[in-house]
Structure 1
Amino acid sequence: MRRSDLGEFEEVVLLAVAALSPRAYAAVIADELEKETNRSVSTGAVHAALQRLEEKGYLNSAFGEATPERGGRRKRLFAITAFGVRTLTETRTIRNNLWDRILPEVLSKLSFGLS
Structure 2
Amino acid sequence: MRFNLGEFEEIVLLVVAAQNEEAYGLSVTTAIEEELGRSVTMSSVHTALYRLEEKGLLNSKVGGTSKTRGGRRKRNFLITSAGKEALIEAKNARNHLWSKIPKIVIDTP
Instruction: State if a TM-score over 0.5 links the two structures.
Output: yes
Of structures 1 and 2, the larger Rg is shown by: 1
> Which region of structure 1 is more displaced relative to structure 2, 3-12 or 18-27?
3-12
| Structure 2 Cα separation of the partners of residues 37 and 48 of structure 1 | 19
Matched residue, 2:102: 103
1:3–1:85 Cα change, 3 Å: closer
Matched residue, 2:47: 48
| Structure 2 Cα separation of the partners of residues 103 and 67 of structure 1 | 54
Residue identity (%): 49
2:23 alignment partner, SS class: coil
Q: State the structure with bigger RCO (CA 8 A, min sep 6), 1 or 2.
A: 2
| Structure 1 Cα separation of the partners of residues 98 and 2 of structure 2 | 20
Query: Any idea what the Cα deviations from partners look like across 1:6-48, whole Å, max 9, x if unmatched?
Result: 1111110000000111110000100000112212111110001
2:76 alignment partner, SS class: strand
Q: Given the two structures, how large is their TM-score scaled by the length of structure 1? A: 0.86
1:78 alignment partner, SS class: strand
Gaps of 5+ in 1: 110-115
After TM superposition, what 4+ stretches of structure 1 lie above 4 angstroms from structure 2? Answer: none
Matched residue, 2:15: 16
| Structure 1 Cα separation of the partners of residues 7 and 31 of structure 2 | 16
| Structure 1 Cα separation of the partners of residues 83 and 42 of structure 2 | 21
Matched residue, 2:33: 34
Gaps of 5+ in 2: none
Matched residue, 1:112: none
Number of aligned residue pairs: give it.
Answer: 108
Matched residue, 2:72: 73
Q: Given the two structures, how large is their TM-score scaled by the length of structure 2? A: 0.90
| Structure 1 Cα separation of the partners of residues 91 and 4 of structure 2 | 15
